[in-house]
Amino acid sequence: MVGAMARLIEPVDSDNRVVEAKTDPQALGDLYDRYYGPVLRFCVHRLFDKTDAEDVVSVVFLAVAEGIRSFPGRTEQDFRNWVYAIAANHCNAHIRKVSTRRRLLARAAQARTDALGDEPTGDYPDWPELYQAIRRLKPRHQTIVTLRFFEGLRYDEIAAITGTTPQAARVALHRALKKLRKLLNVTRASCPRKKEAWPSQPCNHHEPE
């Protein structure tokens, strides 16, 4: 279920680790160990294929290793935003060059359907249809939807990653959900996630930005 996929990263020792990583390979290795899983998960949700996602993640962390010395950030939040931004860019580049994306989506949708087996489907979205609908969104909207629903990020975090403002991220998500509703032809009563999943109206709950 989509809600179960959102998982935030817990704080680490201190922001000094990011500063140390600019000159200390061991510190950089610690950050790699810490962020590899979350970034891989993000790429899987963007590419719908674990093998391709692993290839992209390798490129992402190679870019991190090459750019860490000139990275201007000094906090873990800065590093996190930077890594996700690199991952989003490489995922978009991969999508543009992959001519077999439709096949990859079909494979992912079938795999998800198989994983559900004979479980009741009332609390689950129609994964094949959902993946196909997400594929038809603009790349930027795909990224925002993935960061919000699959990674559980706040709007200020999404804004930092995508180079926009929290309000612009909210507006973009609203437009993406509106497009998805049209594609999926769903109603609020059948939302796969109660908290904030493809709502017919913006959610009324308030979160810290």
Domains in the chain, start-ordered, CATH in brackets? 11-98 (1.10.1740.10), 102-203 (1.10.10.10)
Residue 15 pLDDT class (50, 70, 90 cuts): confident
Confidence (pLDDT) at 107 = 63
- Residue found under tokens 């009332």: 122
Query: Which 8-state DSSP code applies to residue 137?
Result: S
pLDDT of residue 136: 85
Q: Is the pLDDT of residue 197 over 60?
A: no
Q: What is the CA radius of gyration of the chain?
A: 18
Q: CA-CA distance, 151 to 3, in Å (whole number)?
A: 10
How far, in Å, CA of 192 to CA of 169, rounded? 22
Confidence of residue 105 (pLDDT cuts 50, 70, 90): low
87: left (phi over 0), alpha (psi -120 to 50) or beta: alpha
pTM: 0.65
pLDDT in the model for residue 135: 82
Compute the average pLDDT of residues 168-177: 94
Nearest in space to 46 (alpha carbons), one of 121, 195, 149: 149
Give me the pLDDT at residue 13, please.
58
Is residue 43's pLDDT more than 90?
Answer: yes
For 149-168, the pLDDT digits (tens) are: 888 899 999 999 999 999 99
Residues 83-88: what's their mean pLDDT? 97
140 or 108, which is more confident: 140
Residue 70: which of 22, 20, 17 has the closest Cα? Answer: 22
- The model's pLDDT over 108-134, given as tens digits with 9 standing for 90+, comes to 666 655 655 544 444 445 667 787 788
Distance CA 151, CA 174 (A): 17
Residue 60 has pLDDT above 90, yes or no: yes
Residue reference for tokens 């093998």: 51
Q: Are 124 and 190 in contact (CB under 8 A)?
A: no
Which pLDDT belongs to residue 42? 96
Q: How many residues does the chain have?
A: 209
| 95 vs 14, residue with greater confidence | 95
85 exposed, middle or buried (CB, 10 Å; 0-12, 13-18, 19+)?
Answer: middle
Range of 76-80, 91-95, 101-105 with top mean pLDDT: 76-80
